């Protein structure tokens, strides 16, 4: 196949590595929603989870395997028989299953984490790839921390696992240590020195600790890598993974340079980004490439003038190419369910009848409070609705008194087990008073780590979107709340996080 038509396979790890982002929390329903959207997006492989890590992870992989049929469904496993067997069980009903086996190969990991010699690593890697092949023909092997592995030893490991039956070998820059040129040279070296390299796809998995995950991935593609492992919005451990949208749009926008393509339907990128953000509670930064709020905004006069005369002066891709529509008024208080459902579908939300009814009621309440309802309002409203944890506690009502000459006081009424509980509390501000009152009712001791407020649209009647991060018993939980009243939004965000903590 000519280099101009070389296909780059997109391996999405949002549901596995992405969910390991600090504070991210996805239940089974959230994972299924994201998996279906990833399928619509056109990813080639979905890494659905790490089945042996928990029963919930196992069940999520098993359910995704049953319900999402088009992409390959991968499950992660350490190079251990119990891990591999558990992954195989979770993937039993998958149309296209893949077991992804990993084992560290760098000296620092071998010495301090594994306490194994090179000979033992090589023997274990080969044996576990062969064992995984008992369950599926599609086995991927990752030498963890490959970018810090002795290149000669890495070549030996890759050659042997391919001989053992690995159809994909993933070169992992596990701690984001690599430099683009050096990483590209490493991929080139593997192609030059490994005699059976053509029997497997070479993949890359780059972390963003030095802000180079996308650059390293793209240098690897230019040097012969055929698969890129990435996550929506760049989610993942620590500073995250290579961003799916950045990798894909770089390849598409600079096809003249890369001479390759992906199977991604780029018009689904923005919808996918918003869905993942809503369900994980991790807000996309405004200046994030491709999907950030400011990605296609032009404020400087000279830029605005140039774009008006010829878009290409300051835009190298169109908002429409990633599925971003203009921020237009679409619905109002007189709109019906059919129009509401159709508009949500165009924004990438496919709800059950029960969910639709719940969202429609919330929309009507919003329309009564806000004259103009924009697409961003709808996305935030529905995203918050479907990301809400099934709660022990529900906000019934609140009353807050605050001012420069009075002590801020809040009276909160929550529904708990079918009964209403009420408490009042003071604080050094109205939000603190609300949170203190909620704490008195729930009895759950949490520490507020982060609080952020974002206006969804412009105007005095804009909705406020509040995101909080709380910690209890060493675990962090994210909560989101939306309302035209920022105190109410604050209360709903805090309760969202409290309910997640209570459920765990």
Write out pLDDT tens, residues 405-451: 999 999 999 999 889 999 999 999 999 999 999 999 999 989 999 89
Long-range contacts for 330-338 (Cβ within 8 Å, ≥24 apart)? 330/373, 330/374, 330/375, 330/378, 331/363, 331/367, 331/373, 331/378, 332/367, 332/371, 332/372, 332/373, 333/364, 333/367, 333/368, 335/367
Q: In the chain, what are the helix, strand and coil shares in percent, each to the nearest 5?
A: 45, 25, 30
Q: Are 479 and 495 in contact (CB under 8 A)?
A: yes
- Contact yes or no for 383/348 (Cβ under 8 A): no
| CATH 3.30.160.270 domain position(s) in the chain | 393-503
Under a CB-based contact definition with an 8 Å cutoff, are residues 359 and 353 in contact?
no
User: Which pair of tokens denotes residue 89?
Assistant: 């069980």
- What CATH number should be reported for the domain whose range is 3-280? 3.20.20.70
CATH 3.20.20.70 in the chain is located at: 3-280
How far, in Å, CA of 472 to CA of 449, rounded?
Answer: 10
The pLDDT of residue 309 is above 80: no
CB 136 within 8 A of CB 177: no
Which segments of 320-429 does DSSP mark as H helices, in order? 337-346, 353-369, 375-387
Q: Taking the domain 393-503, which CATH number applies?
A: 3.30.160.270
Instruction: In whole angstroms, give the CA distance from residue 242 to residue 255.
Output: 19
CA dist., res. 380 & res. 244, Å (int):
22
Separation of alpha carbons 231 and 273, rounded Å: 10
8 A C-beta contact, residue 221 and residue 206:
no
Cα–Cα separations (whole angstroms), residue 451 to 159, 206, 479: 50, 30, 10
The secondary structure of 435-502 as a DSSP string is: HHHHHHHH----EEEEEEEEESSSSTTPPEEEEEEEEETTEEEEEEEEESSHHHHHHHHHHHHHHHHH
**pLDDT higher for 376 or 85?**
85
* SS3 category, 419: strand
In the predicted model, what is the mean pLDDT of residues 459-465? 83
Mean pLDDT along residues 178-190: 98
The β-bridge relationship of strands 260-261 and 6-7 is parallel
Angle at 262 between CA 258 and CA 263, to 5 degrees: 160
- Give the strands of the sheet with 475-483, arranged side by side: 447-455, 464-472, 475-483
Rounded mean pLDDT, 315-338: 75
Mean pLDDT over each residue of the chain, to the nearest integer: 90
Q: What is the pLDDT of residues 74-124, one digit of tens each?
A: 999 999 999 999 999 999 999 999 999 999 999 999 999 999 999 999 999
């Amino acid at each position: 196949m000519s280099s101009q038509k070389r296909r780059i396979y997109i391996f999405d790890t949002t549901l596995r590595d992405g969910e390991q982002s600090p504070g991210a929390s996805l239940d089974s329903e959230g994972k299924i929603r994201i998996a279906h959207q990833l399928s619509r997006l056109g990813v080639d492989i979905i890494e659905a989870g790490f089945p042996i890590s928990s029963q919930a992870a196992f069940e999520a992989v098993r359910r995704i395997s049953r319900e999402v049929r088009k992409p390959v469904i991968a499950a992660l496993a350490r190079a251990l028989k119990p891990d591999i067997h558990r992954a195989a069980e979770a993937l039993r009903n998958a149309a296209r299953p893949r077991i992804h086996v990993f084992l560290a190969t760098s000296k620092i990991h071998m010495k301090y984490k594994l306490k194994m010699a090179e000979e033992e690593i090589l023997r274990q890697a080969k044996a576990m790839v062969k064992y995984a092949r008992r369950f599926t023909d599609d086995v991927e092997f990752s030498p963890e921390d490959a970018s810090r592995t002795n290149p000669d030893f890495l070549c030996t490991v890759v050659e042997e696992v391919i001989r053992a039956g690995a159809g994909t070998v993933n070169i992992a820059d596990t701690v984001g240590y690599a430099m683009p040129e050096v990483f590209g040279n490493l991929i080139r070296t593997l192609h030059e020195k490994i005699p059976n390299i053509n029997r497997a796809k070479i993949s890359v998995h780059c972390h963003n600790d030095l802000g180079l995950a996308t650059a390293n991935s793209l240098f690897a593609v230019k040097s012969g890598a055929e698969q890129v492992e990435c996550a929506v919005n760049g989610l993942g451990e620590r500073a995250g993974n290579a961003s799916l949208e950045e990798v894909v749009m770089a390849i598409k926008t600079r096809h003249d340079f890369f001479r390759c393509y992906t199977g991604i339907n780029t018009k689904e990128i923005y919808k996918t980004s918003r869905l993942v953000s809503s369900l994980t509670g991790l807000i996309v930064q405004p200046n994030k490439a491709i999907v950030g709020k400011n990605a296609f905004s032009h404020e400087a006069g000279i830029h605005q003038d140039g774009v008006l005369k010829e878009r290409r002066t300051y835009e190298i891709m169109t908002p429409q190419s990633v599925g971003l529509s203009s921020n237009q008024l679409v619905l109002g208080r007189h709109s019906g369910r059919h129009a509401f459902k159709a508009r949500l579908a165009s924004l990438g939300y496919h709800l059950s009848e029960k969910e639709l009814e719940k969202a429609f009621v919330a929309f009507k309440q919003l329309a009564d409070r806000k004259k103009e309802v924009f697409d961003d309002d709808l996305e935030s409203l529905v995203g918050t609705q479907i990301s809400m944890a099934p709660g022990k506690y529900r906000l019934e009502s609140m009353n807050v008194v605050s001012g420069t000459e009075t002590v801020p006081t809040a009276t909160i009424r929550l529904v708990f087990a079918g009964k209403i509980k009420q408490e009042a509390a003071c604080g050094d501000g109205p939000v603190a008073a609300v949170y203190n009152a909620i704490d008195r009712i729930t009895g759950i001791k949490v520490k507020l780590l982060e609080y952020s407020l974002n206006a969804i649209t412009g105007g005095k009647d804009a909705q406020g979107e509040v995101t909080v991060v709380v910690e209890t018993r060493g675990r962090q939980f994210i909560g989101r709340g939306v309302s035209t009243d920022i105190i109410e939004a604050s209360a709903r965000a805090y309760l969202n996080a409290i309910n997640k903590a209570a459920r765990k």
